Amino acid sequence: MSIFYFIAILSILFAVLVISAKNPVHSILYLILTFFTFTVQYVLLNAQFLAVVNFIVYLGAILVLFLYTLMLINLNKDSEPMKSTMVKIAAVLGGGCLMVVVIAALKAVGVSQPVLLKDPSLGLVKNLGKVLFNEFLLPFEVSSLLLLSAMVGAVLLATKDKKTTV
């Protein structure tokens, strides 16, 4: 359990660094570390499928896209507009509400017992595959046909019809 708590503390630390970083590129790099600690937590909780999906989808695709987008746009302080007083007041109220929620959550720390799984193979990919391809085979195949038709439609819409008029 000590590894779990260490990774949980790292997750919280990196999440705070995401919010408090001045440089947006550093903020996204801290977000990558935060999602990586989530992946480690999923592995520790025996949810390998969620770990792999989190690693591939979030770390491999979305955050890299965020990082490239931030590198491509120009983030000068000169081009940043001044915030109005209403935005600043809303930010202070939102931060105060967040502080109240965090204090209320910290009061309940240590009250509950850790959850122990009765079935240690609960989060395995093998069990997910059995359920997916036995009970939900028809919806799975219908969704694959819908995705295929959406892909064909996107390709048809993206290609321009080159008609030559004589």
Q: How high is the mean pLDDT in each 10-residue block of the chain (166 residues)? A: 87 93 84 91 86 84 77 63 83 92 81 69 76 85 87 78 59
Q: Which of 124, 113, 122 is nearest to 49 (CA)?
A: 124
Domains present along the chain, CATH in parentheses: 1-75 (1.20.120.1200)
Q: Give me the helix-helix angle, 2-20 and 24-44, nearest 10°.
A: 160
User: Structure tokens of 127?
Assistant: 């069990």
Tell me what pLDDT residue 160 has: 65
Q: State the amino acid at position 94 in one-letter form.
A: G
Secondary structure of residue 83 in the 3-state scheme? coil
Tell me what pLDDT residue 13 has: 95
